[in-house]
Structures are given as structure tokens and as C-alpha cells.
Amino acid sequence: MAHLPTPLEPLPRLTAQLGGPELWIKRDDQTGLATGGNKARKLEFLVADALSQEADTLVTAGAAQSNHARQTAAAAAKFGLDRVLVLRGEEPPQVQGNLLLDRLLGAEVRWAGSTPLPEAMAQVAEELRVAGRRPYVVPYGGSNPIGASGYVAAMEELLAQCAERDLHFDHIVLPSSSGGTQAGLLVGARALGYEGRILGISVDPRAETLKHRLAGLAMATVDHLGLGFTFAPEDFAVNDDYLGGGYGVVGELEREAIRTVARAEGVLLGPVYTGRAFGGLLDLIRRGAFRPGERVLFWHTGGTAGLFGCAERLS
């Protein structure tokens, strides 16, 4: 389903412009599923599980401009499954960005209003069961042990690419929120012997909250895969200095990062996750958080479709 392996590319102009560490990018924005993104790796495992259970409908939840919801709808379409998306809040006056793609992909969209998303998603799934359907609930962000396994495999993919090109990364930096990507990468790193630092730039949770989430998810993934090691919250590097105005609020940090990377390298970032995380990375470089000569990989998790949902905040 996903187009793998995704490209591993240097960022030479940006490296020279910043005068800091050597920058590279892992292009999971090019996984190929409805404009790409990291959820394609998780959905390869989650959809396989859904099909093994003979599900006929995928149900998931997210924000109005959810990248995860868009890719879940695309995965369902690809495998002939119905798709119901439970989105936070009320229907906006304009259908644009990811929400437009959800509609084009044939998703049924339910608005949760004031109901918490997990509760609203459970209600929809139960409604479908009562109607005789076989729903498969894809967790928020695709972040459970099954979905996180996609990023255990992604670490194996990265290390194979590094071996082919005689590369080593001292740091991997990525956006982190629901936790499946960072937890999966760290499980893969532990299993495969990668000793560099994996730094999650938090997009919305506070660091301590996210570290505990990551540790729990990593341990569940270890159990799921039958591996023999443990994790604690302190094993995870998380920076929550860049939360700005809150989840999905595009500020100057995100605007500068999106413009800087686009104009230096021709690479588009998303406004919610990768824009915020790369903005944090730019600030860390300028503050000397990385030593000259170190090699830093930014893991691009996608989200560029969201640019078209916030044009007025970016133009």
C-alpha cells in the first residue's frame, strides 16, 4: 500500500544557510497514499488486521484537518471497505484541505460536537454493529502496538539505507503527538542497535504526559512483537517548548519553517505537525543544541494537504 522505501535526502542549501549540523530528511510525505504521510506505514499493519477480522468498515477519529483520517479513508477505499470518520467539533463553513479529500475519497463524516472523540467513535462503531456491520476501529493517529509496528519496520528501512550509503545519524528529529511513530522508531532502534538520539518535538501534549504515553505504547509494541526489553518514560527524548497557541494553531514558528524549507530545498511541510517540529529544529540549531559536524535527520511525517486548509494564515 505504501510506496517504500521513502527517499532519504540531504538538505545542502539549508545546511549551508544555517551553518550548523549536516541536515537530511526522510521523506515519509512520499508514501503515496492520498498525498502521503506517516500513517500509511501504520495502516499497512492496521488494515491487514482489519481484513483478517473480516471487517467491512474502518472507523477512526481526528481533527477536522486530520491527516490520519484522510489516509485512513484512502486505505479503506483501496481495499474496498466503507469508511466513517468521526471529526472533532462542528462542521466548518468551508470544505477544504484534508476535509475536501475525505469527501472525494467517499468517507462518511460524523461531527462529534462536544462529545469527546473516543466516546463518539465508540458510539459510531456500536451503531454500525447494531446495524449488522463489522466495523474495525482504527485508534487515534493509528497509534497502538499494531500501528507502531510500522515504524519498527521503518527504522529497519532507514538503517538499510544508511548502510548502503555509509551514513550515520547522530540525531533523528520528528513531530510527536499520539506517539506511534516515535515509539515504533525507538523500539526499532533498540532491536536493531541504533544508538543515536530520537527527539520528538511535541505538537500538543506536555513532555511528561507524552513520555508516559510513549513508554506505555513502546512496551505494548514490544509485547506485541515478542521482544525482550523494557522502556521507561525517561528513555524518550521529548521537547515541548514549541506548543505555541495550541494544537493546529499556525503561528510565526510554523510559517517561518514552512517558508524556509520550501524556499531553500523545494520541500513542503505541513502546517500542524512538520511545520511546528521543523520550526523547533530551526530554533534548536540557532541556539547551538547540535555540534558542528553532527548529522541530523528530520523525519518528514507528511501533512502537506493541510496547507490548503489554512491559506489565510500562510499567505
- The catalytic residues are 66
Return the ∠ at Cα 97 (arms to 94 and 102), rounded to 5°: 90
CB 144 within 8 Å of CB 119: no
- What contacts 261, CB < 8 A, 6 or more positions away? 11, 14, 267, 268, 269, 278
Q: Which helix (H) or strand (E) holds 238?
A: strand 237-239
Nearest to 97 by CA among 276, 251, 246, 270: 270
Burial class of residue 206, CB neighbours in 10 A (0-12, 13-18, 19+): exposed
Q: Which helix (H) or strand (E) holds 182?
A: helix 180-192
